[in-house]
Amino acid sequence: MKLYLDPGHGGSDPGASSNGLTEKEITLDIALRIRTILESLFDGVEVRLSRTGDTTKSLRQRTDEANAWGADFYLSIHINAGGGTGYEDYIYNGLSDSSRTANYQDTIHAEVVKLNQLSDRGQKKANFHVLRETVMDALLSENGFIDNPQDAALMKQAAWRQNVAHGHANGVAKAFNLPSKVNDSPQTRTPETAPSGPLYKVIAGSFQTRANADNRVAFLRSKGIESFVVTAMINGQTWYRVQAGAFSSRANAETRIAEVKRAGIGDAFSDSDGEANGTVRNTNNHTILGPTLLSVEQMNQYAKSNNPSSPELGNFYKTLGEYYGIRGDVAFAQALHETNYFRYTGDVRSGQNNFAGIGATGGGNRGASFGTPEEGVLAHLQHLYAYATTAPLPTDYDLVDPRFHLVQRGSAPTWTELNGKWAVPGDNYGQSILNLYERMVNSV
């Protein structure tokens, strides 16, 4: 079965905007999740997206592409606006209620409304281009009203977007009788069959290019470790994460992590569903390496909400964090912790641009100084890189961390493993950083 999946709008066409949200970003996020679910859980399905990033494509280009490809079904994802609330979907108004397309609509509609927490506005018909000009069966879904505060609050939750994606995927699978993949361990579950507790996903790499993620999957499979690529939208950018299993038991996840590390992937970690929803759980598993989730504006605004005189360092933490593959937003939280929200109430002074207390070993020792704020952030992230991995330091930037070579390389791949290393005694140093980061997440 060939599914043409169309996240509405994109590029120069943002779609509807309200409540701090833009339609084109939400539709892409949901569509990427639908693809991941279908490819992960079901056999006999091939998915092609009209866009996988923030690109412009006309309605004619989309339908021509689907027709030329020979798709079996066209599914267009949209967000509504105009003062209402709830969910509705559409098929072409030239079709009868007994048509095959109408039967597909019945099935998909029923599965979506099971999970989306929205009022049901019904199954409708319209003369939309993507419904009229496609030669295959087609459905367009409107997933809540972006200008309704209650609907918009749901849209901001990753868990809600995942449930909406599951509803669509379940509907397509049921409508086309897609067989489930036989995969006892690891298990990937839909919301209806998932355990009530968190699901521990083993992540074996995060990449900004699909080719790099596919190469990692091929490598793992060559070692006998089944894995697949999961796409995620982070601050408007598409990230490709390699998932090597999902477990209801943390112990089983840790066993798989050890297996992946023995295969040579040293930065594997476990990420629970709760973390994607903005809740920091299982803090012992939070790795230093990983994608930056918060935006530049969110980091800067949080700092200024606690200290209006805070410097705007979010851009440095985001760009340099992405360069080194480090969680720049958590590193930013560490800087807030070290500097007391840039008030510098300890030994380090503001003019030093030392945001991580590098070399400030106590007893009035002010530690290292750096020429510019960017250099200070660079030193901070290089110091984290030394702790997080044994891989060679990338060479686009000069080494400015004066204590890089004093670190036992790879001795602290997680934030809590910095306890007693970055700070002494520092029994709860990493937990304090992650707790502060959780407050940052909750604030946005």
> Among all residues, which ones are annotated catalytic?
142
Q: Are 272 and 200 in contact (CB under 8 A)?
A: yes
Residue 172 DSSP SS3: helix
CA distances from 66 to 59, 138, 203 (A): 11, 10, 33
Assigned token pair, 150: 């209650």
Pick left, alpha or beta for residue 62 (phi over 0 → left; psi -120 to 50 → alpha; otherwise beta).
alpha
Cβ contacts of residue 316 below 8 Å, gap of 6+? 373, 374, 377, 378
CA–CA gap between residue 287 and residue 268 (Å, rounded): 9
Q: What are phi and psi of 327, to 5 degrees?
A: -65, 90
CA–CA gap between residue 244 and residue 356 (Å, rounded): 33
Which among 164, 144, 135, 109 has a CA at the least distance from the CA of 15? Answer: 144
Which among 272, 291, 57 has a CA at the least distance from the CA of 158? Answer: 272
